[in-house]
Amino acid sequence: MTAASTPGTATAASTPATATAASTPTAATAASTPTAAMSAEAASKTIAAEPWVPSIGRQERFASVGSTNDVVRAWLAAGEPEICLALADEQTAGRGRNGRTWTAPAGAGLLLSLGFRPTWLAPDRAWRLAATVALAMADAAEEAAGLPDRSVRLKWPNDLVLAVEESGRALDPQGLDAALAGASVRKLGGVLGESEGLGSEDPRLIVGIGLNADWPAASFPPELATTMTSLRAAGGERPVDPATLLDAFTSRLETRVEVLHGGRFDVADWVERQVTTGRRVELLRPDGAVEVVIARGVDSVSGALRVSDPAAADPDAERYVVVGEIRHVRLAAV
């Protein structure tokens, strides 16, 4: 309304040249052709039918925070739409599973949290959002560090890991089974999902992820040096640019979330990246008990770990584990 009443617009609309052009037979004929009318109608329907998909909106970086998960939780509580992203150079109270802490030197890791409002996802499929975040980060990490495709693996339920040789360099996944002498599985990063109100009209899901990026192996804490790794260490101490890693991650995340929003989950990649499948593992149960089982795979419906007991009367009988943690993976396949 305001634009139509500005002097400049009114003058232009009343100039003889404009009036003449509007009244020419050619213009009138073009406007009245069925083809033009149909094209305009089709374009209008296309625009109206354009589906909404989640994309990254609010994104803020902090020099230091207690926990990026807490930052995003507060944003969602205040009404922030999905997807929001909080990134920190340092976390002073970062959390992992089961109340563990997550720390990394400032600038050595990629530490961030994402906020979702998954009204479009069934509550029993919410775990797929955390899995999608992990897959996007795995893709991005391989690109940023120049690692072979699918060398970044997943260790149920929430770890990103690398199989590395004795020197600390990442193993090519194609040669994993043939390079067992001195090889080990080391933690590269972790995912922590926290939800509120799943199944209600206002579901909220926070997915935090921490990845060891440009962290030299010489600076690893001594007590963790044999169980952790970083993209820099896995790439032969080649520096990794956190900004490049972040850009690669966000672009892949939006693509994968759009696919998930459309009702499709990348089951093949999620299953293929599981480092435990076909291997003997130590399973830590919620009550603290540890049992040795054979990981048979993962269930794409529930997200559960499929295991069998090698000492059972029927060693091939499978059961599903929904809550637990894999403490140790023996790389030799069974």
DSSP 103-170: ---TTTEEEEEEEE--TTS-GGGTHHHHHHHHHHHHHHHHHHHTPPTT-EEEETTTEEEEEE-TTSPB
Looking at the domain assignment, is residue 264 inside a domain? yes
pLDDT digits (tens, 9 = 90+) for 190-220: 999 999 999 999 999 999 999 999 999 999 9
Do 268 and 122 reside in the same domain of the chain? yes
User: Which of 234, 257, 272 is where one domain is finished?
Assistant: 272
pLDDT at residue 220 in the model: 96
Name which of 1-10, 97-106, 146-155 the model is least confident about: 1-10
26, pLDDT greater than 90: no
- Three-state SS letters, 188-209: EEEEEEEEECCCCCCCEEEEEE
pLDDT at residue 97 in the model: 55
* Mean per-residue pLDDT, 116-141: 97
If pLDDT is split at 50, 70 and 90, which confidence band does 331 have? confident
Q: Which two tokens stand for residue 99?
A: 């109340």
Do 238 and 315 reside in the same domain of the chain? no
109, pLDDT greater than 60: yes
Half-sphere exposure of residue 9, counting CA atoms within 13 Å on the CB side?
6
Looking at the domain assignment, is residue 324 inside a domain? yes
Angle at 193 between CA 189 and CA 198, to 5 degrees: 165
Percent of residues, the chain, with pLDDT higher than 90? 70
Looking at the domain assignment, is residue 252 inside a domain? yes
How many domains does one find in the chain?
3
Do 158 and 179 reside in the same domain of the chain? yes
User: Which of 244, 272, 300 is where one domain is finished?
Assistant: 272
Do 172 and 116 reside in the same domain of the chain? yes
Which CATH number goes with the domain that contains 268?
3.30.930.10
Do 224 and 255 reside in the same domain of the chain? yes
Do 101 and 153 reside in the same domain of the chain? yes
Query: What amino acid is encoded at 131 in this protein?
Result: A
Expressed as residue numbers, the domain containing 112 is: 59-272
229, pLDDT greater than 90: yes
Q: Which helix (DSSP H) or strand (DSSP E) does residue 321 occupy? A: strand 318-321
Do 25 and 174 reside in the same domain of the chain? no
Do 213 and 294 reside in the same domain of the chain? no
pLDDT at residue 13 in the model: 39
User: Which of 272, 289, 311 is where one domain is finished?
Assistant: 272
Q: What is the dihedral of CA 183, 186, 188, 194, to 10 degrees?
A: 140
Do 191 and 247 reside in the same domain of the chain? yes
Do 191 and 260 reside in the same domain of the chain? yes
79, pLDDT greater than 50: yes
Do 79 and 131 reside in the same domain of the chain? yes
How far is Cα 203 from Cα 115, in angstroms, rounded to an integer?
Answer: 11
Q: Which two tokens stand for residue 34?
A: 């069925």
Looking at the domain assignment, is residue 54 inside a domain? no
Q: Which residues make Cβ contacts (< 8 Å) with residue 317, sequence separation at least 6?
A: 308, 309
Do 101 and 244 reside in the same domain of the chain? yes
